[in-house]
Amino acid sequence: MNNLLIPNPKEAESIHIIREVAAQFERPVLLFSGGKDSITLVRLAQKAFYPAKIPFPLLHVDTGHNFPETIAFRDKLVEELGLELIVRNVQDSIDQGKVREERGRYSSRNSLQTTTLLDAIEEFKFDACIGGARRDEEKARAKERVFSVRDDFGQWDEKNQRPELFDMLNGKIHNGQNVRCFPISNWTELDVWEYIKTEDIEIPSIYFAHEREVFLRDGMIWTANEHVFREAHEEVLVKMVRFRTVGDMTCTAAVFSEAVSLEDVVGEIRDSSISERGARIDDKRSEAAMEKRKKVGYF
Amino acid sequence: MSENRKLIKIATAGSVDDGKSTLIGRLLYDTKSLTTDKIEAIERSSKQRGYDYLDFSLATDGLVAEREQGITIDVAHIYFNTDKTNFIVADTPGHVEYTRNMVTGASTSQVAIILIDARKGVIEQTYRHFFISNLLRISHVVVAVNKMDLVNYDEEVYLKIKADFDALVAKSDFTEDQITFIPVSALKGENIARKSEEMPWYVGNTLLDHLEVLEPADLEPSSVARFPVQYVIRPKTEAWHDFRGFSGMLYGGNLKVGDEVTLLPSMNTSTIKSIHYFDQEIQEAAPGSSIAITLDTEVDLSRGDMLVKSSSVPRSEKQLTATICQVNSKPLKVGGKYILQHGVNRVLAKVDQIESRIHTDFTGTETADQLKLNDIGRVHFRLSKPIHFDTYKENKANGSFILIEEGEYDTVSVGFIE
């Protein structure tokens, strides 16, 4: 038996937030992408409710362009922890004519996810969506609340946010509204990696260096396969790479890396000079790209 | 996670032109927390605007609207670390209309940095910033006298500002704060991470060295244990058939197995049987722990109730007096009804009387029939049920609350119980 618990303040805060979500809402859901941040959320949720099971399901909005390693990992995690998983597909939204596939050189299904997500929220009447967004990721995220109220259209009004004082969270909403909840708001990328290492949390293999067919464009390393638009002159190379974030293949660039263990990865992040979202192609579109997507209901 | 690093939470306050964003940008730059692509973005933007220096304020000014106006309009959270310390900065705007933002940012901070423009000295804004850091009982204040490069690094200017600020300190009732003065130039990086050669007359630490040696434990006044029940864990499985864990965050002091506890509101007593942190059983927990507690008797205890040591029970009352800061454009009025959220507990509250509006420039009070956005006042409330509170002075977590209005459910006020 351990003598005295000295809390890790960021972990304790996150557990507190997750318990608030479970207590304040009728139908919460944890948005799960298979990335390191949502995997960290699952561990924190386990800690929040142990020895009971996590009292809400996971929702994965699948673009159909996910890395197969991520999907395999997702299914294994759900199986091992006895979690409930809901999957909704962007392909279905396309087939139903609700969204249209982008075309051309930078086409991606990333922004199409918003429609599928909002439809799933409506279908299941979710009133709280727990996400792994962090304030250090991007400038517009730095002003996001822990509990962020969205209207019936999933929109974020940055000028009209509820102030959050001390650790008191106000999740009171009207029917039809929902709240996006961000338990690891105050974590940095390095915090997440160090936590994964300390806690010995399993993560998908694509976070570690591996050989992959890639091509280079705009100074970034793109995955070469049938889902990613590639010009004839863009040559396919086989390189040792890894991913720092795991989104859809069409919007996640790799980095050259030799990091094969968590220790290597943490070392690499500490020394790193390119920010995590620097490898997100979706943000490169414009300086205000993230803010614009958030306003229309993106995570 | 960063197991060897401590966490220090800082609120910054300054007027629009005091160079606050530049100061934070400089801290990020000097601690190598700005990545290559962010530095490139700053270089690109600075060049586009025709500046002949790097505009670090661009590192923190987030939203499109404020980029256009060139001012910060909300609380932004910024993160950086050194080998020894993790820092969270709540960057709060200093414009007169935005008292609510500084109160919000300061509510989660242990340290306040108040910026003063060396050319302007102590101004009305400075009074207001210091008033708020006192109201929130921030125990550690750094007065950063900025733009020293624009006054030829003149010690006389610095000493005059220090004397003026000391006169302000003399007006305050809150005497438990430690105040440190540092002359800096955020733009040039003088006394931020690097000791300035331009100001040999200053013998103290640089800003970063000063912040790095702070100890979190010294920044939180010690108090007594308060454990509000947040969520009751009932696994209902074979292995954990009878388990009833009362989960929540512990504030103010330690709790340990065997402690005799009193349950509020029932006033029943029991003994702590076990304390759980995930799959570990622990003997004792320190403040700030998110834990689950089991008791050795069957008790009726649910969300919003409180578990405390029997040796130190808080007040339970249906009336209270608090200093209120109005954080929404809907005014607080006599007779108004609100949902009062005290920690994780909610009751209904009615405004009995607004005793006064308090001037945030230390010039006293006046009578008022309502409190508008950014007003601070002394208010008497009646509650639908008793809550179990300490004064804010005794215990910050158990001595504060928010008011939620019943229309849009906006958070309209924050209260500090007297």
Express each pLDDT in B349-361 by its tens digit: 999 999 999 999 8
CATH of the domain at A168: 3.40.50.620
Q: How far apart are CA A142 and CA A280, in angstroms?
A: 17
pLDDT score, position B20 = 84
Whether residue A249 lies inside any domain: the answer is: yes
A131 and A83 within one domain? yes
Q: In the numeric block, which tokens belong to residue B237?
A: 């499985």
A109 and A221 within one domain? no
**Same fold yes or no, B6-219 and B315-417:** no
Average pLDDT, chain B: 91
pLDDT score, position B218 = 84
A61 and A162 within one domain? yes
B67 pLDDT more than 90: no
B247 pLDDT more than 50: yes
Residue B149 burial (10 A CB sphere; 0-12, 13-18, 19+): middle
A154 and A60 within one domain? yes
Q: How far apart are CA B231 and CA B258, in angstroms?
A: 22
A151 in reach of chain B (CB within 8 A): no
pLDDT score, position B72 = 45
Residue A274: give the domain boundaries.
204-281
Closest CA to B82 of B172, B5, B167, B144: B5
SS3 A277: helix
Which CATH topology does B315-417 take?
Elongation Factor Tu (Ef-tu); domain 3 (2.40.30)
pLDDT score, position B336 = 97
B63 pLDDT more than 50: no
| Mean pLDDT across B147-160 | 98
pLDDT score, position A58 = 98
Classify residue B262 by its DSSP letter.
E
Kindly state the percentage of chain A with pLDDT values over 90: 56
A166 vs B233: CB contact, 8 Å cut-off? no
Minimum mean pLDDT among B12-16, B183-187, B408-412: which range?
A: B12-16
| Mean pLDDT across B209-225 | 89
A198 vs B65: CB contact, 8 Å cut-off? no
| Mean pLDDT across A44-69 | 94
Kindly state the percentage of chain B with pLDDT values over 70: 94
Pairing relation of β-strands B376-389 and B370-371? unpaired
pLDDT score, position A150 = 86
Minimum mean pLDDT among A22-26, A248-252, B88-92: which range?
A: A248-252
Q: How far apart are CA A155 and CA B242, in angstroms?
A: 44
Contacts of A232 (CB under 8 A, 6+ apart): none
pLDDT score, position B4 = 64
pLDDT score, position A278 = 59
CA atoms within 13 A on the CB side of B365: 14
Strands (E) in B336-410, as ranges, are 337-342, 345-358, 365-366, 370-371, 376-389, 400-404
Strands (E) in B98-239, as ranges, are 111-117, 140-146, 178-183, 226-228, 231-233
pLDDT score, position A119 = 93
Q: How far apart are CA A91 and CA A114, in angstroms?
A: 13
- A76, A68 in Cβ contact below 8 A? no
A82 and A157 within one domain? yes
Interface probe for A, chosen from B10, B108, B278 (most Cβ of A below 10 Å), is B278
Whether residue A199 lies inside any domain: the answer is: no
Query: Is residue A158 very low, low, confident or very high in pLDDT (cuts 50, 70, 90)?
Result: low
Whether residue A109 lies inside any domain: the answer is: yes
| Mean pLDDT across A110-137 | 92
Exposure letters B332-343 (e unless 16+ CB within 10 A, then b): beeebebbbbbb
Report the chain A residue with the minimal C-alpha distance to residue B110.
A166
pLDDT score, position B25 = 87
A79 and A213 within one domain? no
Query: Is residue A292 very low, low, confident or very high in pLDDT (cuts 50, 70, 90)?
Result: low
| Mean pLDDT across A100-120 | 85
pLDDT score, position B190 = 96
Q: How far apart are CA A245 and CA A254, in angstroms?
A: 9
Interface probe for A, chosen from B1, B302, B341, B374 (most Cβ of A below 10 Å), is B1
pLDDT score, position A245 = 81
Q: Where are the domains of chain B?
A: 6-219, 226-309, 315-417
A289 pLDDT more than 80: no
- B269, B226 in Cβ contact below 8 A? no
Query: Is residue B99 very low, low, confident or very high in pLDDT (cuts 50, 70, 90)?
Result: confident
B70 pLDDT more than 50: no
pLDDT score, position A288 = 56
pLDDT score, position A133 = 92
Options 2.40.10.10, 1.20.1260.10, 2.40.30.10, 3.30.70.3040; CATH for B226-309 is: 2.40.30.10
Q: Which of residues 122-181 of B touch A (CB under 8 A)?
A: none
A5 pLDDT more than 80: yes
- B59, B24 in Cβ contact below 8 A? yes
Q: How far is CA A151 from CA A163, A178, A180, B94, B156, in A?
A: 17, 7, 11, 30, 55
A245 and A169 within one domain? no
pTM of this structure? 0.93
A122 and A65 within one domain? yes
pLDDT score, position B71 = 44
Which CATH topology does B6-219 take?
Rossmann fold (3.40.50)
| Alpha carbon B365 to its chain's center | 24
Average pLDDT, chain A: 87
Query: Is residue B315 very low, low, confident or very high in pLDDT (cuts 50, 70, 90)?
Result: very high
A7 vs B290: CB contact, 8 Å cut-off? yes
Residue B244 burial (10 A CB sphere; 0-12, 13-18, 19+): middle
